[in-house]
Amino acid sequence: MAVLPASTVPVAEALAQDPLWLVIVKAVAIVAFLLTSVLFAVWFERRVIGRLQERPGPNRLGPFGLLQSVADAMKLLFKEDITVRASEKILYIAAPMISVFSALLIFSVIPFGPDTRLYGTDLSSPLQLTDFNVAVLFILACAAVGVYGIVLGGWASGSTYPLMGAIRSTAQVISYELAMGLSLVTVFLLSGTMSTSGIVDAQTDRWWIWPLFPAFILYVISMVGETNRLPFDLPEAEGELVAGFMTEYSSMKFAWFFLAEYMNMINVSAVASTLFLGGWHAPWPASWPGYEFLNTGIFPPLWLIAKIWLLMFVFVWIRGSVLRFRYDQFMKFGWKVLIPVGLGWVVFFSVGRAAFDHYNRDLNVYDAVAGLIAILLVVAVWSFISDAQGKADDAADQDAEPEVLDAFAGGYPVPPMPHQVLPPSPRSGRTVDAHVGSREEDSE
């Protein structure tokens, strides 16, 4: 492959000129890349968590256990396929397909490289399947539609635990997609477009992670919640819901949900790399004279893949390090922390940038310091609120009497909250009397 000089033809128009056979080749390449990446991601996650927990991880099948994921896939393929009698058959079968197809669509607008001449031909094309002016909104729409697979799968199973997982997933997507959308607003402001290729082109000189670091952190937290991963995997919390929305699924239908989860991890990592980490652009030394070759040939796709797997490591690192949130903590964090911080960041950045522009100041200076100032403000406000809340909780704990909980009031036992205590056990008195009686007998 050879990279052509910068073209004046927009990427969307260049892609529209691709012959049908090239479009099919690109689509097949994307599907093959995602399927291969999922197999590698399963092995990668198990190996990294093994190292974090000081154990080897998969190491039997193939070199370094690389064929373990293939063995797991074959096992799911040949397992008995069970369909629940009480299920809504059509939706029960269609739900995992909806999740997978939605996950496959997102990579269609991810740019892997610039306009490139295909080896051995006179044909050139951007390394991207398609692009349009609102490509990022298309990504958010596909992510939202993918949740219908989880919701329909839980409802159509005709069982209690899957339904609870599906309801949780609905609330989770609404909460964390709002925060994710807010994190992207400042990207659109700086780039001047919602086209993925346009956003990557706008990051030729600098990546948006530097001036928009608070937005990047907000996006990373939201993408973990959006993909139902620890510590936000409430729709499939095995300690509470057996396996959540996919409790009643087995064999390949279960594998499709599993496939969609890992595809979505790769998708959101690719979106973060595209919007904040320069996409297929090489790191900053590539802008120096003599290093331009780092953005040509085979290098652009390799840079994007390297950034994706850096963020995939963050997913695995969080899973191996952080405990699952309680559901009330999870919703409070989304609505009372992430969304207000996202709104505050959008107002702070846009108003400050407009003020600099009004007084003819250098916007590059503002972009350079805005992210740092915003982070310091968030840390200061968070520390102040945490200290005030801690003092209020301590005072309330000292003044308030613990509430006695009737654990069976709802018909089934529930554990006490921190401010509650269980009533004394009726057996405790008999046990004490028995101990006292035995001691008296021994003394006689």
Question: pLDDT of 214-246, one tens digit each?
Answer: 889 899 998 888 888 878 887 776 666 667 777
Do residues 121 and 141 make contact, with C-beta atoms less than 8 angstroms apart?
Answer: no
CB contact set of 11 (below 8 Å; sequence gap of 6+): 111, 115, 126, 128, 131, 195, 197, 198
* pLDDT confidence of residue 111: 92
Question: pLDDT of 340-396, one tens digit each?
Answer: 888 988 888 888 778 777 777 666 676 667 767 777 777 777 777 777 776 766 666
* pLDDT confidence of residue 61: 84
Helix axes 213-226, 299-319, angle to 10 degrees: 70
CA pair distance 46, 391, nearest whole angstrom: 41
* pLDDT confidence of residue 399: 62
> What are the domain boundaries of the chain?
2-333, 403-443
Averaged pLDDT score across all residues of the chain: 81
CA pair distance 286, 207, nearest whole angstrom: 12
Question: pLDDT of 306-331, one tens digit each?
Answer: 999 999 999 999 888 888 888 788 88
Q: Average pLDDT in the 415-421 region? A: 76
Q: Average pLDDT in the 432-438 region? A: 50
Residue 114 reports pLDDT greater than 60 = yes
Q: pLDDT exceeding 90 applies to what percent of the chain?
A: 14
Residue 402 reports pLDDT greater than 60 = yes
CA pair distance 345, 180, nearest whole angstrom: 13
SS3 421: strand
* pLDDT confidence of residue 3: 40
CB contact set of 27 (below 8 Å; sequence gap of 6+): 108, 129
Q: pLDDT exceeding 70 applies to what percent of the chain?
A: 84
CA pair distance 7, 80, nearest whole angstrom: 54
Q: Average pLDDT in the 7-21 region? A: 73
Of all residues in the chain, what percent are helix, strand and coil, respectively (each to 5)? 70, 5, 30
Question: pLDDT of 293-305, one tens digit each?
Answer: 677 778 889 999 9
Can you name the residues that pair with 127 across neighbouring β-strands?
113
The label of the residue with tokens 């595209």 reads 274
* pLDDT confidence of residue 158: 81
Q: Average pLDDT in the 15-33 region? A: 88
